[in-house]
Amino acid sequence: MDKVLEVRNLSKQYTKVLAVNKISFEIYEGEIFALIGPNGAGKTTTIRMISTLLTPTDGDAVVAGHSIKTEPQKVRECITYLPDEAGAYKNMTGTGYLKFMAGLFTENPKQIEEYVERAKDINQLGDRLNDKIGSYSRGMIRKLLLSRAVMTNPKLAILDEPTSGLDVLNAIEIRKTIKKLAHEKKMSFLLSSHNMLEIEFVSDRVGIIAKGNLMVTGTTEELKQRYNAENLEEVFERVVNENEIL
Amino acid sequence: MKFFNLLMKELKELINAQMIAGLVLTMLIFMVMGNVMSNSMDELTKEEYTVTIDDRDNTELTAQIMDYLRESGAEIEECDTEGDDYGSILKERGSENLVIIPEGFTETVESGQKAQLITVSRLKSASALSNLSSDTSLAVNSISSGISHFIAEKYNLSEEEISVMNNPIVLNENTVVGEKSANISPDSIISKVMTQNMVMPIIVFVLIMMVSQMIISAIANEKIDKTLETLLSTPVSRTAIIGAKMLGAAIVALLNAIFYMVGFSSFMSDMTNTGAEAAAGNVVAGQLSMTTQSAMLRLGISLGITDYILIGVQLFLTILICLAVSIMLGALVNDTKSSQTVMMPLMILAMIPYLISMLSDINSLPLALRIILYAIPFTHTFSAMPNLMFGNTAVFFGGLAYQTVVFLICMYFAQRLFKSDKILTMSLNFGQKSKMKKAKTVE
């Protein structure tokens, strides 16, 4: 399988805090990779660097052959990013928003229509897409944004806490959509979450991050076996205890 | 195409039904206010003049004066009062004014001395309009004229001779601007120019405030909703994002400028047209001198289309500077509260030239103060109109060049900010953790 993302010794130093410390991992085509860790562990900073929003202070990441440091514009053509608890333009209708966002990825009107239709199939919001986003529930907004993030068939979709703040049913629906797209469309995903049970269900491989350090990576089963744990939460607990980082 | 897509999004965000309704309403309010004020002034000035008179002298002359007053169109209410507790007298009678012809008035007039007349007016407020009903000046003028008439008869003088005695000099006033002159008093020109120049600073100030608020809120909302992060991660250049945001806001600002300009001009013209030309025209040697408008044309201080285009260009530059600075200030904002706070520097920079230009001519200030004021880029727009009117073209075009340089510098920094991490990481907190920062920044 081809590598879609390769992160090499990526670091980010804010004025007083070393938010990310030389982390390295890779994501393959059609793979769902999750970064898990508590709040403040460095997940969002890592994701923002890979999304070309923040400049790394050291190291690099290569997305579909393009460096985030030297070719950020090329990287942006290959990725989509869904921030944690993101909103959308409240005065736009759902369809209007999808058209606007599609227009930022292509100038071809036919392609724009294709993207919008694909998003409509994914979000299943039906006629509500003709209403203003201001009238949507949180779950509807998240579905709309997720469909926006995947409608362009990006090589890598980066989703920060994709189900945060959602009720159980909406969260399950979003997880199913992510799995389906990865396995059927061979789309790669980089997720972040502090909900480890959710990640156990959705991801192919996980990376445990704490205090800016990537402690361990592997499939859920591998990690559970290695740390003799019943679930990822236990794995996480043992990893941080072993390394005395909390 | 992508830029157009972004621009359309900005315009859709900024131009909505409420905004259009607000604009139309503002213009209508100005127009209706102007019309109502103009009509009220007309009504008040046309209203029959009512004056309460207490003739304590009660002679043939005072009776004649009363008749003279009635003939001149005044409504006379005669009364009989005593003492000098004028507050109680007005209260008892329910009057707004009172003219008392004191005992011995006729005797003093007949002896060729100046006679005393007592006038009482109730002051209800500091407004000129609300005190018109308590004004006694017309009655006093009529009484004075009546006495002049009496003296003329007594000494067998003609009305003209009396007039010459009262006003022995006729002024033929001329005003010079540069090398051009016109037969008009400088007061008339100053009053007209001041009225015209009042509009511009108000429009500029309102626009600066509105544009800053608009762009700071737009950036703050995008940051809080994280739509900015989404936008910045798409394959669109940062220049296109910043450019679309600025152009969208500039179009809306200009739309506002046009509505304000039309509305306010209509208000001012309604307000100033009432009797303005009559006040402006001077009687010179028995004939009316030129109107203020034609005098201004002759003096070369009337603005033409080119001047208005130049003022428009400068106004647009001011808006652009304001937008570029606001983009940087907006990046500091993490919540709606701090969006008010970051506006302060712009508000102060706009307020200083605004107040000074309303009260004085910036060009007549001491050099050091002028340099400080002209260092504020907005000052050039506040003084654009008088600079063009009075031929200070070097100051005007210098200002235009200075504003262009300031705009380019601000744009450079705004663009650098958008291309750096700081657009997402910097924030303004006065010792409090913002909603966004609490959520994460260093996660």
Say yes or no for a CB contact (<8 Å) between A53 and B442.
Answer: no
How distant is the alpha carbon of residue A79 from its chain centre?
10
3-state secondary structure of A86: coil
* Domain annotation covers residue B93: yes
Residues of chain B above pLDDT 70, percent: 86
Q: Nearest CA to CA, how far is B207 from chain A (Å)?
A: 24
Task: Find all residues with CB under 8 Å of B97, minimum gap 6, and list them.
Answer: B51, B52, B90, B119, B120, B121, B122, B133, B134, B135, B136, B139
Residues B26 and B104 in one domain: no
pLDDT classification of B31: cutoffs 50, 70, 90: confident
Q: Nearest CA to CA, how far is A186 from chain B (Å)?
A: 21
B426 — contact with chain A (CB < 8 Å)? no
Residues of chain B above pLDDT 90, percent: 11
- What pLDDT score does B277 carry? 46
Beta strands in B8-129 (DSSP E): 49-55, 74-78, 97-101, 118-121
Residues B21 and B53 in one domain: no
CA distances to B93, B214, B328, B407 from B240, rounded to whole Å, are 75, 19, 16, 17
- What pLDDT score does B220 carry? 86
Q: Which two tokens stand for residue A210?
A: 């704490």
- d(Cα B64, Cα B66) in Å, to the nearest integer? 5
- d(Cα B415, Cα B327) in Å, to the nearest integer? 9
* Domain annotation covers residue B80: yes
* Domain annotation covers residue B199: yes
Contact call for residues A14 and B425 (beta carbons, < 8 A)? yes
CA distances to A50, B85, B280 from A57, rounded to whole Å, are 13, 87, 72
Say yes or no for a CB contact (<8 Å) between B233 and A17.
Answer: no
pLDDT classification of A60: cutoffs 50, 70, 90: very high
Residues B147 and B109 in one domain: yes
Task: Indicate the burial class of B307 (C-beta count within 10 angstroms; 0-12, 13-18, 19 or more).
Answer: middle
B413 or B298, greater pLDDT: B413
**Per-residue pLDDT averaged across B357-370, rounded?**
85
Residues B164 and B220 in one domain: no
**Chain A residues interacting with chain B (CB cutoff of 8 angstroms):** 14, 17, 19, 39-45, 48, 51-55, 73, 76-77, 79-89, 91-92, 96, 100-101, 103-105, 107, 158
Looking at the partner chain, which of B2, B229, B442 has a beta carbon nearest the beta carbon of A107?
B2
Q: Which of A99, A104, A110 to mutate to probe the B interface, most B CBs <10 Å?
A: A104
- d(Cα B347, Cα B355) in Å, to the nearest integer? 12
Residues B102 and B222 in one domain: no
Residues 6 to 35 of B: which have CB under 8 A from any A CB? Answer: 6, 8-9, 12-13, 16
B425 — contact with chain A (CB < 8 Å)? yes
Residues B77 and B207 in one domain: no
* Domain annotation covers residue A149: no
Say yes or no for a CB contact (<8 Å) between A17 and B442.
Answer: yes
* Domain annotation covers residue A183: yes
What is the domain count for chain A?
Answer: 1
Residues B267 and B336 in one domain: yes
pLDDT classification of B46: cutoffs 50, 70, 90: low
Say yes or no for a CB contact (<8 Å) between A54 and B234.
Answer: no
Positive or negative, the Cα torsion across A45, A49, A55, A60?
Answer: positive
Task: Find all residues with CB under 8 Å of A4, minimum gap 6, and list them.
Answer: A27, A28, A29, A31, A63, A64, A155, A156, A188
- What pLDDT score does B272 carry? 59
Contact call for residues B175 and B295 (beta carbons, < 8 A)? yes
* Domain annotation covers residue B178: no
pLDDT classification of A29: cutoffs 50, 70, 90: very high
Q: Which residues of A touch B5 (CB under 8 A)?
A: 100, 103-104
Residues 217 to 256 of B: which have CB under 8 A from any A CB? Answer: 224-227, 229-237
* Domain annotation covers residue A17: yes
Q: What is the 3-state secondary structure (H, E, C) of B245-289?
A: HHHHHHHHHHHHHHHHHHHHHHHHHHHHHCCHHHHHCCEECCEEC
Last residue in a domain, options B168, B197, B222 = B168
* Domain annotation covers residue A179: yes
Q: What is the pLDDT of residues A124-177, one digit of tens each?
A: 899 999 999 999 998 899 889 999 999 999 999 999 988 877 788 888 888 888
* Domain annotation covers residue A93: no
Q: Which residues of A touch B230 (CB under 8 A)?
A: 81-83, 86, 101
B442 — contact with chain A (CB < 8 Å)? yes
Q: Residue A55's closest chain B neighbor by CA?
A: B421
**Per-residue pLDDT averaged across A66-85, rounded?**
93
Task: Count contacts between A and B (CB, < 8 Å).
Answer: 95
Q: Which residues of A touch B433 (CB under 8 A)?
A: none
Does residue B109 surpass a pLDDT of 90?
Answer: no
Which residue range is the domain that position A195 belongs to? 3-85+157-243
* Domain annotation covers residue B44: no
Task: Find all residues with CB under 8 Å of A50, minimum gap 6, and list them.
Answer: A5, A7, A61, A63, A68, A79, A156, A158, A190
Q: Which residues of B touch A80 (CB under 8 A)?
A: 233-234
CATH of the domain at A44: 3.40.50.300
Q: Which residues of A touch B16 (CB under 8 A)?
A: 91
Say yes or no for a CB contact (<8 Å) between A85 and B226.
Answer: yes
**Per-residue pLDDT averaged across B91-98, rounded?**
82
Does residue B334 surpass a pLDDT of 80?
Answer: no
Residues B148 and B274 in one domain: no
Backbone angles phi, psi at B9, to 5 degrees: -65, -45
Looking at the partner chain, which of B2, B425, B440 has a beta carbon nearest the beta carbon of A103?
B2
Residues B89 and B224 in one domain: no
Q: Which residues of B touch A138 (CB under 8 A)?
A: none
CA distances to B116, B148, B286 from B100, rounded to whole Å, are 9, 18, 35
Residues B338 and B433 in one domain: yes
Q: Residue B226's closest chain A neighbor by CA?
A: A86
Does residue B442 surpass a pLDDT of 60?
Answer: no
- What pLDDT score does A64 carry? 93
Q: Which residues of B touch A84 (CB under 8 A)?
A: 226, 439-440
Contact call for residues B265 and B199 (beta carbons, < 8 A)? yes
Last residue in a domain, options B112, B144, B168 = B168
Q: What is the pLDDT of residues A17-28, one digit of tens each?
A: 899 999 999 999
Sheet of B118-121, strands arranged across: B74-78, B49-55, B97-101, B118-121
Q: Which residues of B touch A15 (CB under 8 A)?
A: none
Q: Which two tokens stand for residue B51?
A: 């004056």
Q: What is the pLDDT of residues B124-172, one digit of tens each?
A: 666 555 556 667 777 788 788 778 877 787 778 877 777 777 777 877 8
The rounded mean pLDDT for chain B is 80
* Domain annotation covers residue B226: yes
- Could you tell me the pTM of the whole model? 0.75
Residues of chain A above pLDDT 90, percent: 59
Residues B247 and B135 in one domain: no
Q: Residue B15's closest chain A neighbor by CA?
A: A91
Say yes or no for a CB contact (<8 Å) between B232 and A53.
Answer: yes
pLDDT classification of B300: cutoffs 50, 70, 90: confident
Residues B318 and B416 in one domain: yes
Q: Which of B221, B252, B443 to mutate to probe the A interface, most A CBs <10 Å?
A: B443
Which ranges in A79-185 belong to alpha helices (H)?
94-102, 109-123, 138-150, 168-185
- d(Cα B383, Cα B387) in Å, to the nearest integer? 6
Say yes or no for a CB contact (<8 Å) between A81 and B229.
Answer: yes
* Domain annotation covers residue A94: no
Name the residue with tokens 């460096």: A67
* Domain annotation covers residue A121: no
Which residue range is the domain that position B136 belongs to? 49-123+131-168
Does residue B49 surpass a pLDDT of 80?
Answer: no
CATH of the domain at B146: 3.40.1710.10
Q: Which residues of B touch A104 (CB under 8 A)?
A: 2, 5-6, 231, 234-236
* Domain annotation covers residue B174: no
What is the domain count for chain B?
Answer: 2
* Domain annotation covers residue A117: no
Task: Find all residues with CB under 8 Å of B87, minimum gap 6, and list them.
Answer: none
Looking at the partner chain, which of A51, A87, A107 has a beta carbon nearest the beta carbon of B227?
A87
Task: Indicate the burial class of A55 (C-beta count within 10 angstroms; 0-12, 13-18, 19 or more).
Answer: middle
